[in-house]
Structure 1
Amino acid sequence: MAALAPDRMTEEIDGFGYFRYFGQIGDVGMQQTRVTASEFQAAFGALSDRARREPVVITKHGRDSLVVMSAEEWARLKRRDRRAGLTADLSDAWIEAVQSASVPSEFERRDSELK
């Protein structure tokens, strides 16, 4: 491995060099590999194995195009996917439930921290 920069190095897999980045993906610092589309095709087996451990970013014309990752990581990200809605869309029953909600006694000490 030849160091290119403190946050980037290159490795060789199946005769092709590719860049490995240590950067930010979402809100978690995560190691990732960056390859061109043709490099990914040529080293599909090795890079798909790597994608089970860390995201593999595939570039096309010098721009990020696709990310290959494990099914487990995809499921984790989907679980974190948040849906937002307007309070105006809530039913009267929901609004009443929120207004009448109380903090369970075992968490009352935490409730006082927020006031």
Structure 2
Amino acid sequence: FGAYSAQVHKGPLTVTSHNRPLFVALDPDDYERLKQRDRIVGEFASLSEEEILAAIQPMAPGHEGLNAELDD
């Protein structure tokens, strides 16, 4: 068990049976990050098209400099 728990801290560990994945063991921090992402995606999934379009519109005139901060 100790070897597997050490391996999980390096990355996901897939447990297989007859070359078929049964489950994946994750580091608790990775699992929490995935749960948080799922919540964020779920929040966006519940938005209407109008709400999504309003959210991605540029800011009001005079705040263009702030829009540039979002560009990668």
Whether TM exceeds 0.5 here: the answer is: yes
More strand by share: 1
Which aligned runs of 4 or more in structure 1 are off by greater than 3 angstroms?
none
- Gaps of at least 5 residues in structure 2 are none
More helix by share: 2
Aligned to 1:53: 10
1:58-86 Cα distance to aligned partner (Å, 9 max, x none): 00232011111110011111122211125
How many residues end up aligned between the 2 structures? 59
SS in 2 for 1:54: coil
Which protein has the larger Cα radius of gyration, Structure 1 or Structure 2?
A: 1
Greater length-normalized contact order (CA 8 Å, ≥ 6 residues apart): 2
TM-score, reference length from structure 1? 0.41
Distance 1:102 1:70 in 2: 38
Across the aligned residues of Structure 1 and Structure 2, the Cα RMSD in angstroms comes to 3.0
Give the aligned residue type for 1:49: A
- Gaps of at least 5 residues in structure 1 are 1-43, 111-115
Distance 2:59 2:11 in 1: 41
